[in-house]
Chain A
Amino acid sequence: NAGVMQNPRHLVRRRGQEARLRCSPMKGHSHVYWYRQLPEEGLKFMVYLQKENIIDESGMPKERFSAEFPKEGPSILRIQQVVRGDSAAYFCASSPVSRGYEQYFGPGTRLTVT
C-alpha cells in the first residue's frame, strides 16, 4: 500500500520564479493537508483540502500562495514569485476522514530559492 507521495523531493528556484509542489495522498484518503517546516521550527499548518474544495487556508499567506486538489490528479501547492524566505521543507499529509483523525506524511519537498 503506497504511502503519501510528493514530488519533486528537491526544487531549486531563482527569486521571482514559480514553484509547483505535488502531493498524491494515500489510497483511499480524500483529505490533504500542507505544512511548512523551517529550520529549528516545528511544522506549521498551511491549508486543508478535500477533493475540489479548500476547507481551511488560514495558515497560508494571502499573497503568492495557492493550493488545489482537483477531482483527478494530485494536490498542488503553488508559490508564485518566490522569495528567499520561501526556502523551507513543505510536507503534505493525508487522512481518510477529518475531525481529528491521524495524518500520514509524505517525504516532503525541499525548496531552495537562490
Chain B
Amino acid sequence: GAVVSQHPSRVICKSGTSVKIECRSLDFQATTMFWYRQFPKKSLMLMATSNEGSKATYEQGVEKDKFLINHASLTLSTLTVTSAHPEDSSFYICSADRTVDEQYFGPGTRLTVT
C-alpha cells in the first residue's frame, strides 16, 4: 500500500527555535497534502492544506506566520514551526491524498518545546 513518511518522529527543541517537519509520499505523487495537530487525548484538528506549487490554505485560527508550509514537489511538504514555544508542543500528523477518497497518513511527529 501507499506509504507516507514523516521526519523526525520525535523532536525536542528549546523555546524560541524553529523546527522543520517533513512529510513525504513515498510511492505516489500528491498535489495535496494536509497537516493536522493533535493535543493529548484530543482529536485531530486540520491546520492547513498544502498545495504543490502554490500557497497553503490555513484553517481559521491557525497562524500562517507561525506554521510555515512549503510544498515544493509532488512528494514533499514541510511544516516549519517558527519561534516555537511550549504551547506548540503537540503531535503533528500529515496526510497525502492519492485520490479524493484515499488519503494516507504519516506516522506523526511528536514535538516537545522546553
Asked if A pairs with B, the answer is no
| Residues of B bordering A, CB below 8 Å | none
Using a CB–CB cutoff of 8 Å, the interface residues on chain A facing chain B are: none
